[in-house]
Amino acid sequence: MSFKATFGFVRFTAAALALTAVMASSGTASAADECISKKAQDTLASCPGGKFQAQVTKRPQVSFSSAPTGIKPKDRKNDIKPVNPSDITKTAQRDERASRLQPKVRKLLLTEIANVERLFKTTPKKDKDRPQLMRRLAEGYVELESSAFRDKTEAEIKAQQMKTKNPKRAAVFKNDAKKATKIIKVARTSAIKYYNTLKKQYPKWCQYPSKPEGERGCMDEVLYYLA
């Protein structure tokens, strides 16, 4: 091949390669134009730094001009009614648990009194514990008297309450009140007996001799009960 022919072939090859590169570049740009919208291209072009930065704003605030509808407040009903304090049948009502415990407490009290009575009978008169036993017996009977008085009052109230509704039941409560009255008399008589004996046999005795005056439990308290 001559020199001219060779040079012509080289020029043709270079021209063909240049044309191919131009076509490839044009195809890439067209594809990019199809993927990126015109608005995005304008935003990129207007960015002074050459880079696009997304703008992050605060969370949108929502406000209500009026309260939500459809919610109605519940009506509150107050079923508590005032109680007439003059109604003795209502003011004298007691807790059922306390009323169930009363027989047990009274039984324990009677058992304690009986045990102290036996111990007192077997204790010599010169024994230092004898006045203490007398005091315990007297106070035990005083407590029994108070318990019986409460039972009597409660039975009388219930009898009055059942007088018209249930006469038979009212009669039972009246009988309970009579029994309680008898217990009151016996308990008070026994308490007075032991207090008098304590005063006569041990006039200077004190239950707590080491305590300050007025707290020793001497004969002043005994005389106060007997007054």
Domain-located, residue 163: yes
Q: Is residue 100 scored above 90 in pLDDT?
A: no
User: Is pLDDT larger for residue 66 or for residue 195?
Assistant: 195
Domain-located, residue 106: yes
**Residue 125 pLDDT class (50, 70, 90 cuts):** confident
Domain-located, residue 54: no
Look over the chain and give the mean of its residue pLDDT values, rounded to a whole number: 72
- Per-residue pLDDT tens for 70-81? 566 565 555 555
Q: In the prediction, which pLDDT does 205 show?
A: 81
Q: In the prediction, which pLDDT does 150 show?
A: 92
Q: In the prediction, which pLDDT does 115 show?
A: 96
Phi-psi region of 23 (alpha: psi -120 to 50; beta: other; left: phi over 0): alpha
Q: Is residue 151 scored above 80 in pLDDT?
A: yes
Domain-located, residue 76: no
Q: Is residue 133 scored above 50 in pLDDT?
A: yes
Highest average pLDDT, of 56-65, 114-123, 210-219, comes from 114-123
Span 151-166, average pLDDT: 93
Q: In the prediction, which pLDDT does 93 show?
A: 46
Q: Helix or strand or coil: residue 182?
A: helix
Burial (CB < 10 A; 0-12, 13-18, 19+), residue 139, is middle
Check: CB of residue 154 under 8 Å from CB of residue 177: no
User: Residue 175 corresponds to which amino acid?
Assistant: N
High-pLDDT (> 70) share of the chain, %: 49
User: Residue 200 corresponds to which amino acid?
Assistant: K
Q: How many domains does the chain have?
A: 1
What are phi and psi for residue 41, nearest 5 degrees?
-65, -40
Q: Is residue 92 scored above 50 in pLDDT?
A: no
**Residue 137 pLDDT class (50, 70, 90 cuts):** very high
Domain-located, residue 46: no
Domain-located, residue 79: no
Residues 6 or more apart from 63 whose CB is under 8 A from it?
none
Q: In the prediction, which pLDDT does 190 show?
A: 95
Minimum mean pLDDT among 15-19, 34-38, 114-118, 153-157: which range? Answer: 15-19
* Range of the structural domain that residue 156 is part of: 97-226
- Per-residue pLDDT tens for 184-197? 999 999 999 999 99
pTM passes above 0.85: no
Domain-located, residue 173: yes
Nearest CA among 105, 100, 187, 86 for reference residue 140: 187
Domain-located, residue 42: no
Q: Is residue 163 scored above 70 in pLDDT?
A: yes
